[in-house]
Amino acid sequence: MDLHETLNTLGQRINRYYPEINHGGCCVYASLIGEELKKRGIESRVIVAAWGATTNIDKVRPQLMNTDRKVEWNDNDVYFNHVGVEFKYKGKTFHYDSDGVKPKSKKLKSYVIYPGRLSVDEAKLLADEPEGWNESFERSKIPALKRHVRSYLAAKMPH
């Protein structure tokens, strides 16, 4: 199975089982997918998008005391309206969230992608922070979500 087809099918499953994934769980999902892609040798980073995003994440990072705290990013004009994965595959760059793989662009859904990127590890730490995310996504479902993603990818894309 092709990587794009695998991710698109996984995204459809995740949207069905976790319909609120993009309403408070997108950073969890993005960091998890980024981690799984990296395990398979696919270069990936995490993209952050918001309305009118212009602040450069890479320039803000050195000013933060704790990059794993959303409030510090927010205090420096970086908001997490939506989060996805950027990865390179067969010489091309793509963006992904549970709605599917798309060619790299300046938008993720209807949001503008901030200049700069988060590492997968930075995104994992932010996703672990329980405060400040949309409460529509039930964080108690995170362990099941992780098992679901890991088992699906292990079956479709063993590493």
Rounded to whole angstroms, how far apart are CA atoms 138 and 148?
A: 15
Residue among 109, 144, 127, 110 nearest 46 (CA): 127
Q: What is the number of domains present in the chain?
A: 1
Q: Percent of the chain scored above 90 by pLDDT? A: 96
Residue 132 pLDDT > 90: no
Residue among 61, 74, 27 nearest 46 (CA): 27
**Lowest mean pLDDT across 8-12, 57-61, 99-103, 154-158:** 154-158
SS (H, E, C) 83-131: EEEEEEECCEEEEEECCEEEECCCEECCEEECCCCECHHHHHHHHHCCC
Task: For 67-121, write each residue's pLDDT tens digit.
Answer: 999 999 999 999 999 999 999 999 999 999 999 999 999 999 999 999 999 999 9
Residue 73 belongs to what domain range? 3-156
